[in-house]
């Protein structure tokens, strides 16, 4: 348990949330070590300006640490970030999926690599500016939603286990964004009104297809067919990896009714389209499962969320012999996309989650 004077490694992106988080811990009497993570090559004022983790953000984090009076360091995690986040992001699109790199970053960098670094520095705890709640009851740790539904980030944290929750702090759990900004001003932080970033930090042109092209990772299959689910060829695409499930714009097809991408098929270089009704699915398969307090022994009735901004839906999670699970929803869900996370809840508590593998045929 956290004790006064304990050493805490605070992950500081240079934004208002992580800055207020670190400042609050310092003001409360803990020995804070601020750390900014160098994840990819960047330039101040360049194309990544306005995103998180830029050089200007690091300067903001360093200034906050100086103003408050605690140490701040920039640590190099570029190789690990490339191997575990960027490469997975690229491969996901080439596999016809829709990746979620921010969750992978949380899992492999902030709550794995950073915890390893904290241990080497004698810091029992890692703190971040995420909006989620950690509680302890009955000798077990629980991950729950933040008190502010508009800012809750529990969906992005499903990978936590008992071991990681025991060493993690979310000081902003009970605060709203306006309250965080107000605290920033009260603490005298210069970035209390700094705007938020919602974009993928390493995709500097704000277009993932341009990023893949710049990476030289075009699979080389060129143009292919856009087919209706009834089999008709309606047009041509310029790279299947430019299309994602649920996409409506940019298809270049004139049709009597709105068309949506319902399936991306790399082996045949085909993008399949259909009506909005065709986007609905009642089941999915998920792989790479993580459970906060151990896997279920049998079918699990819960609520499941298939993307960060979707509401939870009643579902039954059925373990499969191959280690995956089948998720059967009480009501069909729109645009289930492989590569996105599915997260399981019960009464506002995160039970676990995994990565959507496919919609059963």
Active site residues: 105, 201
Structural contact between residues 53 and 60, judged by C-beta atoms closer than 8 angstroms: no
SS3 of 334, please? Answer: strand
> Measured between alpha carbons, how far is 160 from 355 in angstroms, rounded to an integer?
14
CA separation, residue 350 to residues 132, 164, 307, 347 (Å):
10, 14, 14, 9
Contact 357, 97 (CB under 8 A): no
DSSP H helices, 206-352, are: 208-214
Give dist(CA 7, CA 188) in Å, integer: 23
- Show Cβ contacts of residue 125 under 8 Å, excluding neighbours closer than 6 positions: 2, 6, 7, 8, 9, 118, 167, 168, 169
d(C-alpha 281, C-alpha 338), whole Å: 12
DSSP state for residue 163 in the 8-state scheme: H
As a whole number of angstroms, the distance between CA 16 and CA 177 comes to 9
Quick check: 8 and 50 in contact, CB under 8 A?
A: no
Long-range contacts of 135-140 (CB under 8 A, 24+ apart): 140/293
Angle of CA points 325, 310, 110, to nearest 5°: 70
Helix (H) or strand (E) holding 66: helix 55-68
């Amino acid at each position: 348990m956290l004790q006064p004077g304990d050493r805490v490694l605070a992950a500081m992106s240079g934004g208002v949330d992580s800055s207020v988080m670190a400042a609050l811990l310092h003001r409360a009497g803990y020995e804070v070590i601020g750390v900014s993570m160098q994840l990819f090559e960047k330039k101040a004022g360049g194309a990544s300006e306005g995103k998180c983790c830029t050089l200007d953000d690091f300067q903001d984090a360093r200034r906050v640490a100086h103003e408050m009076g605690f140490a701040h360091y920039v640590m190099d995690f570029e190789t690990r970030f490339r191997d575990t986040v960027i490469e997975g992001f690229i491969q996901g699109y080439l596999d016809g999926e829709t990746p979620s790199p921010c969750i992978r970053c949380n899992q492999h960098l902030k709550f794995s690599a950073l915890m390893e670094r904290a241990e080497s520095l004698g810091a029992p705890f890692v703190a971040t500016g995420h909006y989620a709640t950690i509680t302890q009851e009955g000798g077990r740790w629980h991950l729950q939603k933040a008190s502010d539904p508009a800012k809750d980030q529990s969906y992005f944290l499903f990978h936590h286990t008992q071991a990681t929750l025991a060493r993690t702090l979310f000081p902003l759990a009970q605060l709203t964004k306006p309250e965080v900004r107000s605290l920033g001003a009260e603490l005298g932080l210069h970035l209390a009104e700094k705007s938020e970033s919602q974009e993928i930090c390493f995709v500097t042109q704000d277009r993932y297809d341009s990023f893949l092209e710049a990476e030289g990772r075009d699979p080389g299959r060129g143009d292919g067919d856009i087919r209706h689910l009834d089999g008709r060829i309606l047009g041509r695409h310029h790279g299947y990896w430019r299309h994602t499930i649920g996409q409506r714009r940019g298809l270049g097809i004139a049709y009597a009714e709105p068309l949506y991408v319902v399936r991306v098929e790399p082996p045949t270089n085909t993008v399949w389209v259909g009506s909005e009704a065709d986007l609905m699915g009642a089941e999915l398969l998920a792989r790479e499962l993580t459970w906060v307090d151990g896997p279920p022994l049998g079918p699990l009735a819960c609520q499941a969320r298939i993307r960060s901004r979707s509401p939870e839906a009643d579902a039954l999670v059925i373990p499969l012999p191959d280690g995956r699970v089948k998720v059967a929803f009480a009501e069909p869900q729109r645009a289930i996309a492989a590569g996105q996370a599915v997260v399981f809840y019960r009464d506002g508590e995160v039970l676990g989650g995994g990565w959507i593998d496919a919609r059963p045929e």
